[in-house]
Structure 1
Amino acid sequence: MSGAVVRILEHLRTDGGLQGRDIANIAAVSPATVSRWSSGKATPDIEAQKTIAELRYVVDRLAEFYSPDETRLWLHAAHPMLKGERAIDLIRSGRTSEVLAVIDALDEGTFT
């Protein structure tokens, strides 16, 4: 399992422009914990794995529209279609479906 987590974390860094502290913030752990996951020295618990998997899906969807740096900014910015909330906060609180609904609107061209 740790090999898969290491690959996903690397993917989040390269394709999502995310840094260890971003991932730590979303997964509600310390940056040192993310570092241990990245090196394969530890494995996230099931809740953190779920959050990381959801984040990966969001990053993959955003990659259809944005560069990694733009993706990171999009995740951190307050968004009008999220009632002024930030996507990273919604993902952390288990409201990923709301973020995906906005991405779907981007995909359908109903929001720019």
Structure 2
Amino acid sequence: MYRALDAKQYRLAVMGIRAAPEQVMTLKVGDKGTVNKNLDAFQQGGFTSTIQPEAMRATLNVGDAAMHRGYTPKEGDLRIALDVLDGVCAAIFGHGDEARKMGMRVPPRK
């Protein structure tokens, strides 16, 4: 996705951005049949905050428009979509372990 963005292949980048959260949702909550049902189950499973699904839906919609309606998003919109995706994925796949390790390096209170 980042390489496609750097190469100014905006439709390709957003198609990857569109596919990634669906794969993550399916991995975590299974396939519920539709993207909206997957997103609802993903939130109910505690994988997003209460405000993230709106941003995720917007990001998914940009990808749908690129795939099905020939829409080419602007670079700034792609960067927003990547930020949304990174925010969701970081909390699920990265920050938990990193935060625990960081916490272990903090000296205890006296």
Which of the two has greater helix per residue? 2
Report the TM-score range of the alignment, normalised by the length of the smaller protein. 0.3 to 0.5
Which one has more relative contact order, counting CA pairs under 8 Å at least 6 apart? 2
TM-score, with structure 2 as normaliser:
0.34
